Structure 1
Amino acid sequence: MTAPSRPRPRRPAVVAAAVVFVYLSGLSNVALGLLVLLSRYRVEPDAVLPVSLLGAGTILFGLLSLALASGLSRGSRFARLLVTAYLVVQSALQVVTIFSTDSWDLVASVVLAVEVFIVVALWAPPGSRWFRAIAEAEASVVPPPV
């Protein structure tokens, strides 16, 4: 007989909100990447390859965000680490955008605020306790006898 496993803990609201924001970020990156990729037909012939690579890279990072959001929603600690690393890089790029351009300050500031919220939500005590409880619940599952 197998021992009953502990019930799966409820996801805190801040983690659920962070997961939604990561999904929205991933979807918006895919859409933006498609627009950038399609804009290669409106640039000079010398810029077609860089614009195409930029669009493809943006799409791939958007798809990575969607995969990581799926892992976050299941309570994956590895997904939490990867999302944090990804958002730290994204935040650095947003700061560079804010200081180097004038026309994108507001948009970059809003995106930066959302990224900071996501990281704080994932690492604040409610989120940390939930990820730890998920890991403990998964570790306590006893495999069936052979």
Structure 2
Amino acid sequence: MNLNITPKDRILSELTDIDGFLNITMSENPEEALQRGNDLASHVARTGKLLADAKFHLNQARSSEVMETLRETAKNAKATAKAVNALIDSLCREEQYLVDWSERANRTATHQLSWCVTVISKAKEEMKLGRFVPQNNK
């Protein structure tokens, strides 16, 4: 199976770029919402892929030969399972950070996309109401 896994340094770079976009405050202009919604849809897809790739790196780090050796050594030294897991988690902190950030970026982009839909729906409703409001001719 040919997995196209994004390297960790590129995940970090892409998340930095996407985060910059997600930190822009949008107005309630429907045209802006439409354009931003298009961009957000692609960011939702990309951050979902980055999340999967970050999880791949995390799982790979946790199951590496070094980690297995550490796990066995700690077990032989009578370390508790909780202590062994805490040690492994600390050694995999960079991979876990990429997972956490990818997940957060994906959720943020998803919520912002929902907001764009709301802004566009509001504008459509206002346009409809504007057509049917009786005019007061005095």
Pick the TM interval, shorter chain: 0.3 to 0.5
Larger relative contact order (CA 8 Å, sep ≥ 6) = 2
- The higher radius of gyration belongs to 2
